[in-house]
Chains A and B, each alone.
Chain A
């Protein structure tokens, strides 16, 4: 684990749309490159390239099963990314919840008058 990639790399890895789509697809279940090609409509070289990046930063791991290679999401490696975005999301949630309350009040007034 001494070679665990930095979270900075993980952030970069998930900044790309196709790689997030790959993570989404792998989140449901393990998959082979072929499965991912079918599911995402990307070419095989594209899927392999993105998987290589995700593996390099530890977000995806792979196991061999005979001649097939199964890819899956390495959940704990994503945690720093979630934690990072969650703080921002929390700020916006409290703010937009307040906005929600104001909108409800405005509409209540409208129906009363």
Chain B
């Protein structure tokens, strides 16, 4: 099935625009409205958010300014991973700003800004996550965001306890 749909598979690019940010960029052969909906309609979020790392067990979305969202997945390792936050800006299909917290580390609230730019039928999605400190940003990077593997969570915990351990998470 992915034979015909996988042209852009593996093409997401992650960069670090500043000490506090992570930027993810990915193009989709779809209108911006559809990509936007995939981020804001629970029945669609359920179909992709876990990637191949688990199964989405809950996707709550109250799409209005100040409204809450909470997405939960059961990772392949059997543990539960939950992210939640609040919507700050909603401009369908161009822009979505929301706070986001990995519930295991509730102090590290990030602000996620999503932009959807459509040109000639291709929508470029950018996800800019802004963290309260470099330690939190680095921890998010090291964890693969939602772990997926218990070892990642262990590494994340280590990082948060001791920023000087960052190098350990980068082991080849």
Q: Footprint of B on A, CB under 8 Å?
A: 6-8, 11, 14-17, 79-81, 83-85, 87-104, 106-107
Contact = CB atoms under 8 A, between A and B. Distances in A.
21 contacts: A8-B167, A16-B19, A84-B170, A85-B141, A88-B140, A89-B12, A91-B146, A92-B145, A93-B9, A93-B11, A94-B52, A94-B53, A95-B50, A96-B24, A97-B9, A98-B47, A99-B48, A102-B47, A103-B34, A104-B29, A106-B44
B172 A80 contact: yes
A11 B138 contact: yes
Most B Cβ at <10 Å: residue of A80, A84, A99, A107: A99
A16 B22 CA distance: 13
Most A Cβ at <10 Å: residue of B35, B53, B141, B167: B167
B171 A83 contact: yes
Contact of A11 (B44, B48, B170): B170
A7 B169 CA distance: 10
B144 interface: yes
A97 B51 CA distance: 8
Main secondary structure of the interface of A (DSSP, over half): helix
Contacts of B29: 100, 103-104
A80 B170 contact: yes
Interface string B8-29: 1111111011110010101011
Interface of B: 1-2, 5-6, 8-14, 16-19, 22, 24, 26, 28-30, 34-35, 38, 44, 47-53, 125, 134, 138, 140-146, 148, 152, 163-164, 166-167, 169-172
Contact of A6 (B6, B8, B146, B167): B167
Nearest to B163: A8
A96 B51 CA distance: 7
A99 B38 contact: yes
B14 A98 contact: no
A80 B138 CA distance: 13
A16 B15 CA distance: 12
Contact of A92 (B6, B14, B143, B172): B14
